[in-house]
Amino acid sequence: MSQTEIAPMAAGSPDRLTGLKTFWHYFSVNRGAVIGLFVFILLVLAALFAPLLAPYAPDIQDKTAFLRPPAWQQGGSTQYLLGTDPVGRDILSRLLYGARFSLLIGAVVVTLALTGGITLGLLAGYFRGWVDVAIMRVMDLILAFPSLLLALVLVTILGPGLFNAMLAIALVLQPHFARLVRAAVMAEKSREYVVAAKVAGAGHLRLMLATILPNCLAPLIVQGTLSFSNAILEAAALGFLGLGAQPPTPEWGTMLASAREFILRAWWVVTFPGLAILITVLAINLIGDGLRDALDPKLRRS
């Protein structure tokens, strides 16, 4: 890092550009990560353009076509490519709209968990002492419960629903961020550049946010990616148990819940929503692995 500062700077900001290039170089070595990124972009596009792509509205019921099998199976038609559910709704359309919910869940949960985790982790790692003890004891406590159980109990208190499920999951995932930030801050705090900034008269807030935080970003990005996929899984699990998004919301876990009683009669109502969850989570985890390889040499996968 210090090398680039000494070297004469060319016009523009080649620094950032070469940074991105090195990043892409390491990231693209990992074939899986590139595939994951590609799938993820497709998912984002599907979510954004769901109203254009979906052949039907997600809640429209065709009373003449209950449990219609997918197009390639006997009894299916190209009218409903992936078949229909027990009340005659097009599964493909519901899946496309469902992508919106899953991505929204991931984004909201990670944003909440990151904000909370960074704030608490910075405070704990920077001030140490009783602030640290108090914050980290609470984090330990949250981690003492199995995550899904704690989320279930929180949703019981808050009431079932998509938003409350997101809040509960964010709270459950948040300690991982706090621990990570705290550890990184403690490692960085005594480094020379921090001491230099302190001597130069930077205040607590500036030291925490502008000096130390940017240097803790790499592990946070990796953890954020993994939490994104975790959030989708947990929200789908809550939806499946009937405590997340409520029907008729086309959330994938909720779709699975209402399909459960038909599993032995209509395989497609169960298979496709689950496959959508798996593909999404897998794509994000692949990206996470790639990011880890590219951003953090210490964590690099052998």
CB of 35 to another protein, least distance (A): 11
* Residues 25 and 19 sit within 8 Å (Cβ to Cβ): no
**Who contacts 213 (Cβ-Cβ below 8 Å, separation ≥6)?**
118, 122, 181
Contact status, residue 58 vs residue 89, Cβ threshold 8 Å: yes
List the structure tokens of 16: 């950032």
Q: Is 32 in the site for another protein (CB under 8 A)?
A: yes
Kindly tell me which residue out of 12, 75, 129, 159 binds another protein, with binding defined by CB under 8 A.
159
Show the site string, 255-294: x = touches another protein by CB under 8 A, - = not.
-x---x--xx--x--xx-xxx-xx--xx--xx--x-----
Residue 216, both tokens: 């803790």
Helix (H) or strand (E) holding 134: helix 129-144
Q: Which of 61, 241, 247, 248 binds another protein (CB under 8 A)?
A: 241
Should residue 171 be labelled a site residue for another protein when binding is judged by CB under 8 A? no
Which two structure tokens, joined as six digits, stand for 20? Answer: 């991105």
Of the pair 56, 272, the CB lying nearest another protein is at 272
Q: How far is the CB of 190 from another protein (least distance, A)?
A: 20
Nearer of residues 60 and 278 to another protein, judged by Cβ: 278
Distance between CA atoms of residues 220 and 266, nearest Å? 42
* Minimum CB distance to another protein smaller for 18 or for 28: 28
Assigned token pair, 79:
């009218």
| Contacting range for another protein; rule: CB under 8 A; set: 45-53, 137-145, 163-171, 189-197 | 137-145
Grouping H, G, I as helix, E, B as strand and the rest as coil, residue 165 is helix
Of residues 131, 91, 45, 142, the one with CA closest to residue 276:
91
Which residues of the chain form contacts with another protein (CB under 8 A)? 32, 137-138, 140-141, 144-149, 152-153, 156-157, 159, 229, 233, 236-237, 240-243, 253, 256, 260, 263-264, 267, 270-271, 273-275, 277-278, 281-282, 285-286, 289, 301-302
